[in-house]
């Protein structure tokens, strides 16, 4: 990503603003790998007016919210409570923020919402766009800085003048912002496609902090410009010139060089807020100057990411301490509902008994400390489900179907080793049919497959729909579904059963998008004589590999599927 | 700590506000689920709800807020038997809460210091006769969800652990909020919520500006802002109390019942909970508006909230369940006048 010039200036301004109003701005999302550039930012943090406290992504509730200090309680014989990190306002430094689980994010977000004055510095070292801080937190942090590609040469020591900051803090409560400022920020946020209302609020606070820093009692244009660059620009989801999408109020923004021209097209709702076009334009320019050049590419990646990794409810977890196959116990705390592995705990404590007895003032036969606790862990592997969606249409169907049947049986034969389940959906005529519900039974499969009819139109969308429903169901039962589409032709039957090529293609694309949006991996196997272009496009929509296999037999088919699965 | 943002000062989001008010009028409706994007005021509205709830009478030292002495559980060590007026409890159920904390457990303090076996009541005890609020409800651990489902169904919390055998009443109204992008909610838990609301950011520039202006004033001039909105909140609370009284005498004739049943049939919602909730919510709305009887207009107004989350989920329906409910309401009840 190419960064516009002056990013380091913005880093400096941002950190100073944060030092003026740490709680109001919520904090900083710092996306940078560990290195000297990041260290420079960290060096500036002690200038913030609150104590620095370090968190880590797997921090427990007891450390966050406090609880009974078991060790002290046991050794003193009195109840000793310990305050959590969140008890006092603090600068919370969260390294490896990209590893933050949604649960921790929700807790931190809750703590920040309660207005106890926390400020979060999230240090995100994510290498891929997918590895990132949960959105529940990014939304609440005013400053978003991406320093990943910033060379060390462009950085310098960040100047933080403690006295000036203290003076600015004293002035902050008196800083006022006119109604016009509120309007401008809100309108601008909408133009940049920012949906959350927190963004303009945070921008407003940043502008106020900057005004206080400059020694003013009212927000002026410079403060506003800087605030827009710091807070709004990194959150932009569209270029301001773009025609707004359907769910946005229609705004035909004029291209900046000729600001008067498009003005008449504005809808009435915002006409009143646009009477001062020059300032708006200056802000817009400011925002655009800092928009990353590859904004759109990033957006596309982000949307895909939401589909893939974004579905991260509590159910997706594989390792746990409750069920599954036991794996070796490890040292841990007892606070998060974990189960103690008594034998391992005793074993860990055993070598120390003599020393501890000598040091301890208590007469006790067994000395166990928190360090000795070993927690039970279990691992649950979710079974893979391979959903074959087979085209049973037209005259060639019989051979194709036979090969598909063969492939299903071959794959099932390996199923015991691979923990795979297999299901088969066939589509023909006007609808799709679930021929084989998810199974690992070879006998059942053979019986069901024997009576598979063929012929008729190609209701591709219906087939995908059935597959998607099945995928969602089986995911709920703890399986990991993959969709394998075997076909040779174009869709010609729409979802509602009418024979209409255009509609059928649209429906198929819609279904493919839905499958991708649900995050299910897929593969498209083209069994036609010649590669079919529309299938390639469909594979792209699915985000799936496209495998042309003309005249495939069952063996080649199952090999291809196995290879694609393991890739 | 400062008081939460006043309920009356929340801009827009009428459906969410209506659902909150209805559940405050008749807790029997069964709570509210608020689903929506970030930064739409979900948490703000739920936290403001507490200020709208009329106070309850309870035995001062009773851990489960019993209304009278003979209803207190026998394990409770009552230090004071006075009946006091206290605000309706609104208990936060934090994510990652442990089972012990929810259902209650052996009192470690007493066990360690006096060697005494005593029960330390959990969140469910505190929430009895009140509201249980779960932020990010879709991220709640499965075993906690199971626990809540069981207790919400039976209205009683049974603790059998660590040599304790204790039961106490736990009747509470579930209020949840969450962001659907972060995970789905199990249908069983969905069904326990009476009403559900989907919130989105306001699309209108003026509304958005007003939201930010009010929030800014709340933060800059807290005293003045609270002063300004306190009367509106108080008035709303009085209306809620009046509506509660009105609820008992509210008439609902045969045709309204038929409307409810037909709506639920047309939507294919499972079970009879849909009809009951729809009826109760319509009745609460009629009481809130000071009407004499429940009319079709009331049913129409609450139908989306009461039924939206009871449809069989169709992953391919991009229009979403709100539109589906709207369509069926128009088909069954006719176009709105």
A100 and A204 co-located in one domain: no
Q: Distance from A37 to chain B by nearest Cα, in Å?
A: 31
- pLDDT of A99 reads 81
Domain B7-199 is found in CATH 3.40.50.300: yes
Tally A–B CB contacts below 8 A. 148
- Cα–Cα distance, A289 to A281 (Å, whole number): 12
- Cα–Cα distance, B202 to B209 (Å, whole number): 10
The arithmetic mean of pLDDT across residues B123-143, rounded, is 83
Handedness of CA B196, B200, B205, B207 (dihedral sign): positive
> A301-325 pLDDT, tens per residue?
444 444 333 333 333 334 555 555 6
- Which CATH number covers residue A96? 3.40.50.300
**Which residue among B112, B182, B202 places its CB closest to the CB of A313?**
B182
Q: Distance from A148 to chain B by nearest Cα, in Å?
A: 27
If you search the block for the tokens 């794959």, which residue do you land on?
A411
3-state secondary structure of A163: helix
- Cα–Cα distance, B137 to B139 (Å, whole number): 5
The arithmetic mean of pLDDT across residues A84-100, rounded, is 84
A375 and A411 co-located in one domain: no
Asked if A394 and A458 count as a contact pair (C-beta separation under 8 A), the reply is: yes
B89 against A447, higher pLDDT: B89
* Shortest CA distance from A513: residue in chain B: B316
Q: Distance from B139 to chain A by nearest Cα, in Å?
A: 6
In the residue annotation, B273 being an active-site residue is answered as yes
If you search the block for the tokens 């069994």, which residue do you land on?
A527
The arithmetic mean of pLDDT across residues B270-285, rounded, is 86
Domain spans of chain B, in order of start: 7-199, 254-333
Burial readout A125-158 (b: 16 or more C-beta within 10 A, e: otherwise): bbeeeeebbbbbbbbbbbbbbbbbebeeeebeeb
A224 and A120 co-located in one domain: no
- B156-161 and A319-320 beta bridge pairing: unpaired
Cβ-based contacts of B212 with chain A (< 8 Å): 182, 185-186, 197, 200-201, 204
**Chain B interface disruption, residue of A101, A313, A380, most B CBs within 10 A:** A313
Asked if A369 and A355 count as a contact pair (C-beta separation under 8 A), the reply is: no
Secondary structure in 3-state letters for chain B: CCCCCCHHHCCCCHHHHHHHHHHHHCHHHCCEEEEECCCCCHHHHHHHHHHHCCCEEEECCCCCCCCCHHHCCCCCCCCCCCEEEECCCEEECCCCCCHHHHHEEECHHHHHHCCCCCEEECHHHHCCCEEEEEECHHHCCHHHHHHHHHHHHHCEEEEEECCEEEEEECCEEEEEEECHHHCCCCHHHHHHCCEEEEECCCCCHHHHHHHHHHHHHHHHCHHHHHHHHHHHHHHHHHHHHHHHHHHCCCECCHHHHHHHHHHHHHHCCCCCHHHHHHHHHHHHHHHHHCCCECCHHHHHHHHHHHHHHHCCCCCCCCCHHHHHHHHHHHHHHCCCC
Q: Is the pLDDT of residue A411 over 60?
A: yes
Q: Which of B230, B273, B296, B324 is catalytic?
A: B273
A411 and A548 co-located in one domain: yes
The arithmetic mean of pLDDT across residues A252-274, rounded, is 37
- B83-86 and B90-92 beta bridge pairing: unpaired
- Strands (E) located in A279-397: 319-320, 325-331, 374-379, 384-391
Q: Do B39 and A79 touch (CB under 8 A)?
A: no
The arithmetic mean of pLDDT across residues B226-233, rounded, is 89
- The count of domains in chain A is 4
**What pTM, to 2 d.p., does this model score?**
0.66
- Cα–Cα distance, A488 to A548 (Å, whole number): 9
**Which residue among B183, B219, B315 places its CB closest to the CB of A469?**
B315
Asked if B83 and B49 count as a contact pair (C-beta separation under 8 A), the reply is: no
Q: Do A102 and B139 touch (CB under 8 A)?
A: yes
Half-sphere exposure of B178 (CA within 13 A, CB side): 25
- pLDDT of A396 reads 55
Q: For chain A, give the percent of residues with pLDDT over 90.
A: 0
- Cα–Cα distance, A411 to A556 (Å, whole number): 11
**Which residue among A74, A249, A510 places its CB closest to the CB of B205?**
A249
- Cα–Cα distance, A451 to A446 (Å, whole number): 9
- The average confidence (pLDDT) of chain A is 74
A139 and A195 co-located in one domain: no
Lowest mean pLDDT, pick from A431-445, B164-178, B200-214, B251-265:
A431-445
Q: Do B205 and A190 touch (CB under 8 A)?
A: yes
Using the 3D structure, point to which of A99, A134, A160 is the last residue of a domain.
A160
A247 against A124, higher pLDDT: A124
Cβ-based contacts of B215 with chain A (< 8 Å): 201
Among B198, B320, B332, B335, which residue's Cα sits nearest to residue B267? B332
Residue A67 lies in a domain: no
- pLDDT of A250 reads 37
Cβ-based contacts of B112 with chain A (< 8 Å): 73-74, 77-79
3-state secondary structure of A118: coil
Handedness of CA B38, A309, A58, A382 (dihedral sign): positive
- pLDDT of A78 reads 67
Residue A554 lies in a domain: yes
Among A401, A393, A462, which residue's Cα sits nearest to residue A433? A462
Asked if B195 and B21 count as a contact pair (C-beta separation under 8 A), the reply is: no
**Which residue among A24, A135, A247 places its CB closest to the CB of B38?**
A135
3-state secondary structure of A424: strand
- Cα–Cα distance, A97 to B98 (Å, whole number): 24
- pLDDT of B281 reads 92
As to burial, measured by CB atoms within 10 angstroms (0-12 exposed, 13-18 middle, 19+ buried), residue B89 is buried
pLDDT band at residue A291 under the 50/70/90 scheme: low
A425 and A285 co-located in one domain: no
Enclosing domain of residue A397 = 384-566
- Cα–Cα distance, A442 to A423 (Å, whole number): 12
pLDDT band at residue B282 under the 50/70/90 scheme: very high
Residue A171 lies in a domain: no
Q: Is the pLDDT of residue A479 over 60?
A: yes
If you search the block for the tokens 């779960």, which residue do you land on?
B134
Among B2, B1, B43, which residue's Cα sits nearest to residue A140? B43
> A169-189 pLDDT, tens per residue?
888 888 888 788 888 888 888
Residue A561 token pair: 């599927």
Q: Is the pLDDT of residue A368 over 70?
A: yes
- pLDDT of A112 reads 81
A139 and A192 co-located in one domain: no
The arithmetic mean of pLDDT across residues A193-202, rounded, is 84
Q: Distance from B50 to chain A by nearest Cα, in Å?
A: 15
Sheet holding B130-135, edge to edge: B90-92, B130-135, B172-178, B32-36, B195-199
Per the document, the length of chain A is: 567
Asked if B5 and B17 count as a contact pair (C-beta separation under 8 A), the reply is: no
Q: Do B95 and A514 touch (CB under 8 A)?
A: no
- Strands (E) located in A62-193: 66-68, 81-83, 91-94, 119-124, 143-146
**Chain A interface disruption, residue of B2, B112, B113, B206, most A CBs within 10 A:** B112
* Cα-to-chain-centroid distance, residue B279: 17
Q: Do B184 and A313 touch (CB under 8 A)?
A: yes
User: Out of 1.10.8.80, 3.40.50.1580, 1.20.210.10, 3.40.50.300, which CATH number does the structure's domain B254-333 have?
Assistant: 1.10.8.80
- pLDDT of B112 reads 62
**Chain A interface disruption, residue of B188, B316, B317, B320, most A CBs within 10 A:** B316
Lowest mean pLDDT, pick from A236-245, A474-483, B8-17, B34-43:
A236-245
- pLDDT of B182 reads 67
Per the document, the length of chain B is: 337
> B60-75 pLDDT, tens per residue?
778 888 887 777 777 7
- Strands (E) located in A280-383: 319-320, 325-331, 374-379
Q: Do B208 and A190 touch (CB under 8 A)?
A: yes
Asked if B280 and B305 count as a contact pair (C-beta separation under 8 A), the reply is: no
Half-sphere exposure of A158 (CA within 13 A, CB side): 27
| Alpha carbon distance, N-terminus to C-terminus of chain B | 47
pLDDT band at residue B154 under the 50/70/90 scheme: confident
The arithmetic mean of pLDDT across residues B287-315, rounded, is 82
- pLDDT of A313 reads 35
Q: Does A409 touch chain B (CB under 8 A)?
A: no
- Which CATH number covers residue A472? 3.40.50.410
Q: Do A273 and B209 touch (CB under 8 A)?
A: yes
pLDDT band at residue B286 under the 50/70/90 scheme: very high
| Alpha carbon distance, N-terminus to C-terminus of chain A | 28
A417 and A507 co-located in one domain: yes
ipTM: 0.72
Half-sphere exposure of B6 (CA within 13 A, CB side): 22
Q: Do B183 and A201 touch (CB under 8 A)?
A: no
**Which residue among B201, B205, B316 places its CB closest to the CB of A273?**
B205
Q: Do B112 and A79 touch (CB under 8 A)?
A: yes
- pLDDT of A325 reads 62
Q: Do A24 and B219 touch (CB under 8 A)?
A: yes
Among A314, A74, A59, which residue's Cα sits nearest to residue B112? A74
A364 and A501 co-located in one domain: no
Backbone angles phi, psi at B61, to 5 degrees: -100, 10
**Which residue among B1, B140, B316 places its CB closest to the CB of A468?**
B316
């Amino acid at each position: 990503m190419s960064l516009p010039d002056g990013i380091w200036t913005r880093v400096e301004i941002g950190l100073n603003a944060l030092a003026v109003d740490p709680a109001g701005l919520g904090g900083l999302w710092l996306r940078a790998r560990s290195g000297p550039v990041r260290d420079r930012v960290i060096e500036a943090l002690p200038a913030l007016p609150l104590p620095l406290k370090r968190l880590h992504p797997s921090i427990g509730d007891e450390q966050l919210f406090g609880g009974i200090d078991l060790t002290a309680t046991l050794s003193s014989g009195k109840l000793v409570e310990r305050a959590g990190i969140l008890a006092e306002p603090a600068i919370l430094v969260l390294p490896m923020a990209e590893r933050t689980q949604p649960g921790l994010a929700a807790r931190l977000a809750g703590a920040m919402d309660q207005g106890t004055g926390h400020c979060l510095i999230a240090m995100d070292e994510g290498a891929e766009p997918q590895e990132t801080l949960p959105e529940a937190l990014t939304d609440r942090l005013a400053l978003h800085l991406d320093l990943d590609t910033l060379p060390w040469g462009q950085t310098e020591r960040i100047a933080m003048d403690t006295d000036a900051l203290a003076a600015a803090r004293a002035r902050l409560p008196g800083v006022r912002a006119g109604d016009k400022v509120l309007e401008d920020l809100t309108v601008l946020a909408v133009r940049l496609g920012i949906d959350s209302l927190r963004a303009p609020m945070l921008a407003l606070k940043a502008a106020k902090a900057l005004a206080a820093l400059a020694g003013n009692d009212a927000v002026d244009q410079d403060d506003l410009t800087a605030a827009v660059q710091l807070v709004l620009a990194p959150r932009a989801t569209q270029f301001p010139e773009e025609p707004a999408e359907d769910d946005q109020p229609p705004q035909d923004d004029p291209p900046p060089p000729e600001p008067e021209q498009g003005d008449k097209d504005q809808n009435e709702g915002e006409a009143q807020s646009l009477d001062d076009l020059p300032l708006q334009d200056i802000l817009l320019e400011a925002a655009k100057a800092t928009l990353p050049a590859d904004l759109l590419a990033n957006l596309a990646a982000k949307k895909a990411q939401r589909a893939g990794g974004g579905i991260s409810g509590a159910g997706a977890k594989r390792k746990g301490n409750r069920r599954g196959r036991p794996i070796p116990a490890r040292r841990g705390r007892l606070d998060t509902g974990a189960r103690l592995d008594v034998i391992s705990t005793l074993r860990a404590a055993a070598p120390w008994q003599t020393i501890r007895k000598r040091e301890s003032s208590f007469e006790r036969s067994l000395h166990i400390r928190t360090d000795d606790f070993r927690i039970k862990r279990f691992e649950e592997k979710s079974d893979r489900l391979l959903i074959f969606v087979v085209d049973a249409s037209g005259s060639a169907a019989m051979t194709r179907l036979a090969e598909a049947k063969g492939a299903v049986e071959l794959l099932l034969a390996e199923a015991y080793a691979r923990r795979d389940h297999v299901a088969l959906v066939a589509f023909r005529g006007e609808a799709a049919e679930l021929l084989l519900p998810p199974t690992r039974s070879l006998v059942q499969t053979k019986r069901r497959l024997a009576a598979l009819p063929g012929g008729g139109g190609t209701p591709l969308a219906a087939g995908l729909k059935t597959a998607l429903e099945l995928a969602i169901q089986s995911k709920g039962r703890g399986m990991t579904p993959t969709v394998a589409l075997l076909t040779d032709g174009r869709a010609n039957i729409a979802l509602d059963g009418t024979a209409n090529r255009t509609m059928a293609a649209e429906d198929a694309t819609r279904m493919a998008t839905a499958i991708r949006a649900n995050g299910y991996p897929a593969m498209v196997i083209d069994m036609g004589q010649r590669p079919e272009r529309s299938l390639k496009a469909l594979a792209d929509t699915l985000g799936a590999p496209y495998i042309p296999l003309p005249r495939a037999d069952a063996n080649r088919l199952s090999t291809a599927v196995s290879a694609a699965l393991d890739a | 700590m400062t008081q939460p943002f006043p309920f009356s000062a929340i801009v827009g989001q009428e459906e969410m506000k209506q659902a909150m008010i209805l559940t405050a009028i008749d807790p029997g409706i069964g709570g509210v689920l608020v689903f929506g994007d970030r930064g739409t005021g979900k948490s703000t509205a739920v936290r403001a709800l507490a200020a709208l709830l009329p106070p309850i009478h309870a035995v001062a030292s009773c851990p489960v807020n019993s209304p009278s002495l003979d209803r207190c559980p026998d394990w409770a060590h009552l230090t004071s038997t006075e009946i006091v007026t206290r605000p309706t409890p609104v208990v936060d159920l934090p994510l990652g809460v442990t089972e012990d904390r929810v259902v209650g457990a052996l009192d470690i303090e007493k066990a360690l210091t006096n060697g005494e076996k005593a029960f330390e009541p959990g969140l469910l005890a505190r929430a009895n006769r009140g509201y249980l609020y779960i932020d990010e409800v879709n991220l709640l651990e499965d075993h906690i969800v199971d626990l809540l489902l069981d207790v919400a169904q039976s209205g009683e919390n049974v603790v059998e652990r660590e040599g304790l055998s204790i039961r106490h009443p736990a009747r509470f109204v579930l209020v949840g909020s969450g962001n659907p992008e972060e995970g789905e909610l199990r249908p069983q838990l969905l069904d326990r919520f009476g009403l559900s609301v989907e919130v989105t950011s306001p699309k209108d520039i003026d509304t958005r500006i007003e939201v930010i202006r009010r929030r800014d004033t709340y933060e800059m001039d807290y005293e003045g802002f609270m002063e300004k909105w306190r009367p509106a909140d108080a008035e709303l609370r009085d209306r809620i109390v009046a509506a509660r009284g009105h609820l008992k005498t509210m008439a609902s004739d045969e045709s309204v019942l038929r409307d409810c049943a037909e709506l639920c049939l047309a939507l294919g919602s499972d079970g009879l909970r849909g009809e009951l909730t729809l009826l109760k919510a319509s009745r609460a709305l009629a009481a809130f508006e000071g009407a004499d009887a429940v009319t079709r207009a009331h049913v129409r107004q609450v139908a989306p909230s009461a039924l939206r989350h009871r449809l069989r989920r169709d992953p391919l329906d991009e229009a979403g369940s709100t539109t589906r409910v709207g369509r069926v309401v128009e088909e069954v009840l006719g176009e709105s006048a």
